[in-house]
Structure 1
Amino acid sequence: MEFVILGAAALLAGIVGALVGLGGGIILVPASLYFGITLGLVPGLTPQKVVGLSVIMMIFTGLSSTLSYMKSKTVDYRSGLIFFAGSVPGTILGAYVNKGLDLPSFNLYFGILLIFLSTLLLVRKYLKPVGWFVERGRKRTYIDPAGAEYTYGYPVWFALILTFGVGFASGLFGIGGGSIIVPAMILLFLFPPHMAVGTSMFMVFLSAVVNSMSHITLGNVPWLYTLPVVPAAFIGAKIGAALNKRLNSERLVLALRFILLLMGIRSIYEGIWGG
């Protein structure tokens, strides 16, 4: 039963993560906490092992979707490497802070993060893009298949600071960081949406490799449970990347932000009153 639960959660995480550039951890972590720990349907899980499982999964969702986006030429490798460089120290720090969290604390802080991300996704559409960062950074130009031209850019120093924070959240909670970096890329750096998603998944893949090393060293990876999670997530990421090329992802983002809000409220409740 636990293999079915984790496999289904990983498949959904792969689809949603690759479709909107989230990495998938934002789906797998709360699902594993609820079904695995709260309901007790997956024996042996702890908050630390949930995070370890999530970061292993994100290596494969990131790789699968990155390969797909490489074919469609919507990955900015230079930007992805800069964002990755900023996220590495944050990821390592977050992984080591994670080992000190008990379940109530993890639920509380993770719930606050989910509500923040839900709010970010809610207001993203209504925020006016800021050109200040583009004007002060190295500009790049991208022409999409429809012929629309985009000019985007950023100061490297600011990108490094931003992605350090993204990496810390990723290491602490086992999420890919795309839920923070994608809106920032679109609103602050004026990235084309599809380029933002593709570049985000490239960064998620690289960051997950480093993140997993930290959690493997700390003994946080339940290797048995990677058997259903890894192939399901890899297949889901392929599906999500294919759907990204065909669908307007705004409806999914609409549903996702309300799901994150509800999960965040439940997680905070569990953290305060369920512990």
Structure 2
Amino acid sequence: MKIAAIQMRSGLDPEANLAALEPMLAEAAAAGARYALTPEVTMIFPENRDQLRSVAAPFEGHPQLRRIGELARQHNMFVHIGSLAVPLEDGRFANRSVLFSPTGEIAATYDKIHLFDADIAGLNAYRESATYRAGEEAVTAEVGDLRLGFSICYDMRFPRLYNALANAGAELMAVPAAFTVPTGQAHWHVLLRARAIETGSYVVAAAQGGQHANGRATYGHSLIVDPWGRIVAEFAHDEPGVLMAEIDPKQVTEARQRIPALRNARDFVVPRLQD
């Protein structure tokens, strides 16, 4: 099965981002991809919360998603929009991943579980939870002969999620992302390879890359990792493009037989320290 990771440089205009995506989906389909993943914040990469509120469309009848469904059907391909912001009733947003089947129907959705809330020395506090509401359910879905596990960007730092997805049958882990350059240089490759190794799964990571209209710079370097932790395809840059690889479910079975970590895992307790 051929899969594609689509690297983008999304801006502030959803229609312009869709226009940039369309020919890359066509390229992936022409090369034989049965599944294509786009990055986090595919449809709009906002400058601030107010700017996001001014353009984020409701999920029902979403104009760009409607067009993506048409493209999935046209190309007879699973199209996985890594994420987009969906307005919620409490004034916040869901960071939502949407998978379309080759019939153009929505096959599954996933709301990002782990939100980045941090106080960093020398910098302002960062509160992703002030803008987004965390999801509560891990999600898997069938993609051809494979079961796909969903995640988004910061989720990759939480191995328990991927362990749960693998135990639910996931053989391919999707990681759409918009990593900063410093964290990408330090952690991108090692985290993604670790998630593949510890679960014996393929990992496909589609990234935002380059200098964006919102002033942010993202790392790029989309990649596809096999269940043994080998990088089988990678962009060594931050330019938009279509990254392709052929994957084989038998390699998942083989890796999990050679290192049966999922089967060997045990529950345990951590004693409390005495005061």
Normalised-by-shorter TM-score class: under 0.3
Q: Which is greater in Rg? A: 2
**Bigger fraction of residues in strand:** 2
Q: What's the TM-score, normalizing by structure 1? A: 0.26
**Bigger fraction of residues in helix:** 1
Which has the higher relative contact order, 1 or 2, with Cα contacts under 8 A spaced 6 or more apart? 1
